Structure 1
């Protein structure tokens, strides 16, 4: 499978919002407290979730199907790994990943990636990869495509003016899932589902907004071809109409679904 984020790892690492500390701490409470304490992060990208959870787990496997993402994660995370923690970064699609023999996760995390996966197949596959009392956490925040403020709506309109009304996903278009993730999870081995939200407030500037857009599948630089500079200039011009200080505030939230096997 060709990654929709080929060439975006640098932008992803630098401009995708990181995982808040309070969310990492809450996720850690979803896993049994024992040693070794094992985490499997699926669709790790550049390792933002694995990094946030480093203080809480002693044996971490993080996988992604994009070699560039894994290489960037390796460079960013390796110097931060505690001496008592084992971190393994592996190139694999979620549908194909297999852990070492006998290795079972206490917690599986899938952040901002579940919509790209064969969801039922991945959850079924995890049944043999998760400890009996372990959990699967699927979570994400809203992308800029969901325009919940005037300035985001204006940026989305610029993207649509250049690339068309439909949300792009690489060379194709984004296919929305009609079923809530919790409903899908309730039909999986991890059918006992808890939901919670973690609010987050962020501040952006034009540079970070453009960097974020370059990290996405719907506004990746290659989609604009020779019009990339024109696109970036248009975004800058539009944003200047919404702030005199190049400051843009965002209220967002992570929606988290934690699935466990029935007691």
Structure 2
């Protein structure tokens, strides 16, 4: 098995005629027109799988998660301390017994080469 942990635009095939069996794309996939991109690729046999989940958060846990994201990391805020104080107060208002409940669904697209059945 070979692993190439690179951005798609930085990938160079290791040899002529190279074919891959698996490509993964997580959070960035929502920025793509995946239906057209996959339909035009060798991986045009697409199935969708949905995985419901439920999880409980504390307000501090939500803030910790936000700190780890690209869209709410501390350096994006002029006054991140104030943001966290206000967010903490707002989250506490919505928490029930200190808990925020989340129900969600992870959607996984499995795109294969036509005729493969692994």
**What band does the TM-score fall into relative to the shorter chain?**
0.7 to 0.9
Match 2:7 to one of 83, 93, 97: 93
Identify if the C-alpha distance between structure 1 residues 240 and 261 changes in structure 2 by more than 3 Å, giving closer, same or farther.
same
- 1:194, distance to aligned residue in structure 2 (A): 1.0
Give unpaired runs (5+ residues) of structure 1: 1-37, 39-58, 64-91, 120-178
- The reply on whether 1:204 has 2:57 as its aligned counterpart is yes
1:248 aligns with 2:100: yes
Matches within 5 A, 1:97-116: 97-98=11-12, 100-101=14-15, 104-115=19-30
Which residue of 40, 56, 81 corresponds with 1:229? 81
- The alpha carbon displacement at 1:256 in A equals 1.4
Which sections of structure 2, spanning at least 5 residues, go unmatched? none
Cα distance between partner residues in 1 of 2:35 and 2:110: 9
What is the Cα deviation at residue 244 of structure 1?
4.5
Superposition RMSD on alpha carbons, in Å?
A: 2.4
Offset at 1:221?
0.9
1:237 to 1:93, Cα distance in 2 relative to 1, 3 A: same
| TM-score, scaled relative to structure 1 | 0.39
CA drift at 1:188: 2.2
Contact 2:48 2:108 in 1 (8 A): yes
Q: Report if the CA contact (8 A) 1:194-1:258 is conserved.
A: yes
Task: Describe the superposition over 1:53-97 as per-residue Cα deviations: whole angstroms up to 9, x where unpaired.
Answer: xxxxxx5x252xxxxxxxxxxxxxxxxxxxxxxxxxxxx322112
Deviation at 1:100, TM superposition (A): 4.0
Instruction: Give TM-score, length-normalised by structure 2.
Output: 0.79
| Counterpart mapping for 1:1-263 below 5 A | 38=1, 61=3, 63=5, 92-98=6-12, 100-101=14-15, 104-115=19-30, 179=33, 181-225=34-78, 227-263=79-115
CA distance in structure 1 between the aligned counterparts of 2:87 and 2:105, rounded to whole angstroms? 25
Give the C-alpha shift of residue 218 in structure 1.
2.0
8 Å Cα contact 1:185/1:191 also seen in 2: yes
